[in-house]
Structure formats: C-alpha cells, structure tokens
Amino acid sequence: MRHPAIHIDPPRGRLGILLVGLGAVSTTFIAGVLAIRKGLAAPIGSLTQMGTIRLGKRTEQRSPPIREFVQLATLDDMEFGAWDIFEQDAYEAATTAGVLDAALLEKLREPLSNIRPMPAVFDRSYVKRLDGPNVKRGGSKRELVEELRADIRNFARLKQVSRLVMLWCGSTEAFATESAVHRSLADFERAIDSNDAAISPSMLYAYAAIKENVPYVNAAPNLAVDIPALIQLANEQHVPIAGKDLKTGQTLLKTIIAPGLKARLLGVSGWYSTNILGNRDGEVLADPECFRTKEVSKKGVLDHILQPQLYEQLYGNLCHQVQINYYPPRGDNKEGWDNIDLFGWLNYPMQLKVNFLCRDSILAAPLVLDLALFMDFAARAQRSGIQEWLSFYFKSPMCAPGLYPEHDLFIQLKKLKNTLRHLRGEELVTHLGAEYYG
C-alpha cells in the first residue's frame, strides 16, 4: 500500500561534518571521501553510495541507487571539522594512525593538512590511558558547553555550510550507568551548572549539538545521547539523534551468523569471542573501566537475536564470553576469533570457528559516511529524536523506551529501506509475494 510522500527539503548548499576525535576512524573517513572525490578509489562498504533500493513489484524492475532515490547530499558538498586532544592535523593524524598507505596519503596531503582540530573537551577520569595538550580550559562544564556551541557556529560561518551533522568518533569512555541527573532535562542542566562528575564529555558534545539544532550520532558505546534528558531535548528541539557503537568486525559477523543459526533452530551452548588490536582504541580498552563499556555493548547482541526467553531449550544455557586484548604490533588490523559450540538433531554437538582478520577503521569509515548523510536526510525530512531505522549501523541500537532493540542485520536493513520507501511515498516491501500466484 502506497502512502503520500512527505515533504523533504532538498540538500541545498554545503554539509558540514563535525567529528569528535581525529584519530584512525575519522581520518580514514575523511581521506576516503577525498580519495573518492579525486577518482582514486570506490566507496566500497557504503550503502548510500553503492546501494540500490527495490521499488514496487519485482516485475517492475525498478531499483534506483539509494543516493538518488532520497536525494542525499553529494560527497563534493562536504566540509570537515574536528576536535581532538592532540594537535596533529588530519594528514599527520592519519600518518600516525597507520591505516592508509603513505602513497595515498601523499596525494591527499594538502586538503588533509588544512583540517586542524579544535581544542577538545576532555576529562581523564573518563579515559585514563590518554592525555594530550589540545584541550579546552573552561572553568566549568557550562563554560565548556558554550565554547563547543561557539565552535559549531564559527565552523558553519567560516566554511559557509548550510547544514551540520556531528558524530562522536572519539575513544570509548569509562563505563557509566544512568543516574538521577540524566533522567530529565531540568536535572541534567542543573548538573551541568554544578559541574556534576556524572556529566561526561560525550554528553556535553551531544547537548551542545542538539542545542545548536545539529543531528548527533554516538559511534562509541559510552552512555551519552541515549539518556532520557538528551532524548527529551532532541524531541523538543526537533533534532534527530542516533547510536550507539558502530557495528564493524566481530559483532557484524555475529549479527549475520546468529540469525542464520536461529532461523534453522540450531542450538548454541557457547560462544567465545576474543579480539586482538593495537590501535588507540585498543590502548583505551586496556583500561578495565573502558572495556566494561565495550563489553556490555558487544554481549547484548546475542541475547536479543537468540531470545533465550522464548527458545530456552536452544539458547537458555548459552555461555557467552568476550575478550579484547591490546597488542600494539597489530595496529589497526584487528583480529576477531570466535568459537561457537552448536548442537543439532538429537543433541549431536558441532562447532563453528571464525577467524576474521579485519581492518577496523576501513570497516568503520563507510558507516560514518552513511550515518552523516542519512542523519542530514532525517533532519531535512523533519524527523526528531531517536532514529531507530538506522539500527543497521550499531551494536547497541537506540530505540524507544519499553522496546527491545532489533539486532538481526537483515531485519535492520529491511527496516532502513522500508523507512526510505515510506518517506518517499512508495509501497513497503514485505516479501509476501502472494500477488504473483493467483
């Protein structure tokens, strides 16, 4: 059934993309966009750039590119800005990260060198294993918020952008749980004014972005824009928000494999996961408090996909373990190793082993691109608050209170594409197919 298309503002002018953190993920994303602009590479891994969307019946054979169907901003329209605790420009930071080849970076030296990070809001109690000189010296959290808001306005003016999106691509903060100061906007703002320790840097960035009507994405697992106070503010300001924790390597495979095992009703008694990585993210996660934040994000996936409360005989005694090991020689080339203990007909045991030698930032960069473009689209479509249709990209997808998050990658993709169809007034695809068979 078709619905009337809603009004969506066209992507006029330039789109500013503000990144919190100018490390491996952010520089790989920026350099990738610049390389694609120059015709040096293809946007592999990006749904917005390479994906298509089926419209109508299969017999109609209409499958336009997503970027054209929903009128996304183009890569040529992007301007980049960032905050970071280190003073290196984007070329220097990309060289330090060691993700991309020196020969490619040399071809992009000039535009990357022109991207210099603004001083960051930083609190070592949230990230103990890093420290840097390029930090804001505001005397209070309220002053820090005002400095961030001024940074946003100044960037928009200097780069002459008409729209903005902000993404937290910084390090994982120490584990935190929701407390009283997070439960209403009034309490949250009082906590800012009183310099409450429960207000983290990532929350200050989210608050500043929403106050400036800038869509905000949390690409890390820390508690941030997913607290009730900031959800309330986003709804009041009519600003889209999304998160959290980009789904890249090992968890991406879990959301592909686990739905298949469940679909065939194969039992799982154990799933052991370990990771080896040596980049800055690995160093930060060597701190037990930061690892705890990541662990909670990674471990929740299987419970929601396998639904042990409904399939107790198959998944009720699942032993799920997750480890992350900081191993500097590996750099950004992460290795995820999984051992899955299965059982099938008549309880006969089986095993599945997966060894994914992946590149963390190479997998993350196209997700940053997609989220920036889709969040800009959401803002132009007048969508407010949590954008659950973007769950496809996250380990811990935000959803409305009282709902459980959907983790099955294939259901997430169907939700995303049906949202685009709905907004453009096209028929939703259910895959029922009864109309083809009389």
Q: What is the pLDDT along the chain (438 residues), one digit of tens a residue?
A: 667 778 999 999 999 999 999 999 999 999 999 999 999 999 999 999 999 999 999 999 999 999 999 999 999 999 999 999 999 999 999 999 999 999 999 999 999 999 999 999 999 999 988 889 999 998 899 999 999 999 999 999 999 999 999 999 999 898 899 999 999 999 999 999 999 999 999 999 999 999 999 999 999 999 999 999 999 999 999 999 999 999 998 899 999 999 999 999 999 999 999 988 877 776 776 777 766 766 776 678 898 999 999 999 999 999 999 988 888 888 888 889 999 999 999 999 999 999 999 998 999 999 999 999 999 999 999 999 999 999 999 999 999 989 999 999 999 999 999 999 999 999 999 988 888 887
CA atoms of 344 and 368, how far apart (whole Å): 39
Nearest to 22 by CA among 103, 110, 114, 106: 114
Whether the ω angle into residue 244 lies within 30 degrees of 0, i.e. cis, is yes
Q: What does the DSSP 8-state code read for residue 394? A: B
Residue with tokens 């408090």: 289
For 23-48, what is the HEC assignment?
A: CHHHHHHHHHHHHHHCCCCCCCCCHH
* Helix, strand, or coil (residue 408): coil
CA atoms of 110 and 420, how far apart (whole Å): 37
CA atoms of 253 and 242, how far apart (whole Å): 22
304: amino acid identity, one letter:
H
Where in the sequence of the chain do the CATH 3.30.360.10 domains occur? Answer: 250-357
Residue 301's H or E segment, with its range, is helix 288-306
CA atoms of 10 and 420, how far apart (whole Å): 15
Where in the sequence of the chain do the CATH 3.40.50.720 domains occur? Answer: 15-246+362-423
Sign of CA dihedral 41, 242, 338, 94: positive
CA atoms of 142 and 308, how far apart (whole Å): 45
CATH code: domain 15-246+362-423 is 3.40.50.720
The length of the chain is 438
The dihedral region occupied by 42, where left means phi > 0, alpha psi between -120 and 50, and beta the remainder, is beta
| Residue 272 dihedral angles phi and psi, to the nearest 5° | -105, 125
Helices (H) and strands (E) in the chain, counts: 16, 11
The end-to-end CA distance of the chain, in Å, is: 18
CB 56 within 8 Å of CB 426: yes
State the greatest distance between any 2 C-alpha atoms of the chain, in Å, as a whole number: 72
| Residue 344 dihedral angles phi and psi, to the nearest 5° | -125, -150
CA atoms of 19 and 305, how far apart (whole Å): 31
Spell out the residues 6+ positions from residue 416 whose beta carbon is closer than 8 angstroms to its own: 47, 389, 390, 391, 392
CB 240 within 8 Å of CB 384: yes
Bridge partners for 385 per DSSP: 240
pTM for this predicted structure: 0.94
What class has domain 250-357? alpha beta
Spell out the residues 6+ positions from residue 361 whose beta carbon is closer than 8 angstroms to its own: 24, 25, 28, 29, 97, 99, 279, 332
